[in-house]
Amino acid sequence: MNAILETRRVGKTYGPVRALADVSLSIAAGERLAIVGPNGAGKTTLVNLLTGLLAPSEGEVYFKNANIRGEGPVALAERGLARAFQLVHIFPKLTVAETIAAAVITRQKKRWRLFSNLAADREVAARVAEIARVFGLEPRLDTVSELLSQGEKKLLDVASAFALDPEVILLDEPTSGISTAEKHGIMKTLLVAAERAGVKALILVEHDMDLVAAYSTRIVAIAEGRVLADLPPKPFFENPAVIEIVLGKRRH
């Protein structure tokens, strides 16, 4: 399969500290790739390289066959690569409708006064309502974001990323802080939304191994800045040595 997103021998150093070394990954359309690893493994650095927040110290990153080394997240979002950020923490006083609309107008490159009446732009309002409906947030459109439940805040965060119409979306622990009972419901909502939106590939950074097992088609484990394993779920979970390292446990 042709890669839609890939890294070629990327590395990242911070002064004397090497956070990543010689990491090569290839992500194809149709994949749901989970990135896992213990704390300090280099997962966050890898994600930041993939989504343009950092440039690699060595190696290259390609998206749809274009070298995106050094491009920032805004430029990458315009290309079709988006990451779910904690937007609700940045705009806690905005309503659900206004939060989603901020992403919609960014995608449509429209000028819009953030606190103006959404009804003044029917196209934006219709798109906001459509996205809210997919994520079950339609009844909460007029609710100020800080008043949402934690689960609803997570859905709003991801809904805002989906509003950018990405071909590839990176979900960074989308269920952190959510009760176990809610986690599977949120993941199922995200997958349905991705299918409806025509998202070609999902990248999931997740520490909950139950979710990784249930919703990924491939798992990449990072440890000490290097790729430890790159496997489908079944052989991955049948490897006790890898699981021990991923969970931060070592044999004594």
Q: What is the pLDDT of residue 229?
A: 95
Q: What is the pLDDT of residue 251?
A: 40
Residue 132: Cβ within 10 Å count = 22
Residue 89 lies in a domain: no
For residues 35 and 206, give the distance between their C-alpha atoms in angstroms, rounded to a whole number.
7
Tokens linked to 58: 């060595």
Q: What is the pLDDT of residue 115?
A: 46
Q: What is the pLDDT of residue 88?
A: 62
Residue 135 lies in a domain: no
For residues 35 and 116, give the distance between their C-alpha atoms in angstroms, rounded to a whole number.
40
Domain count of the fold of the chain: 1
Q: Domain of residue 232: give its range.
A: 1-80+207-252
Residue 202 lies in a domain: no
For residues 140 and 98, give the distance between their C-alpha atoms in angstroms, rounded to a whole number.
11
Beta strands in 37-161 (DSSP E): 58-63, 66-67, 81-83
CATH number of the CATH domain containing 30: 3.40.50.300
Which residues are within 8 A (CB) of 175 and not within 5 positions of it... i.e. 6 or more apart?
A: 154, 182, 183, 186, 187, 206, 208, 211
Q: What is the pLDDT of residue 109?
A: 61
Tokens linked to 196: 């409806």
pLDDT in 10s for each residue of the chain, 252 residues: 589 999 999 999 999 999 999 999 999 999 999 999 998 899 989 999 998 889 999 999 999 999 998 788 888 888 999 888 655 666 888 999 999 988 888 776 644 454 455 555 788 889 999 999 989 899 999 999 999 988 888 889 889 888 888 999 998 888 887 888 888 988 998 898 888 888 999 999 988 999 999 999 999 999 999 999 999 999 999 999 999 988 875 443
Q: What is the pLDDT of residue 23?
A: 96
- With beta carbons less than 8 A apart as the criterion, state whether 68 and 4 touch: no
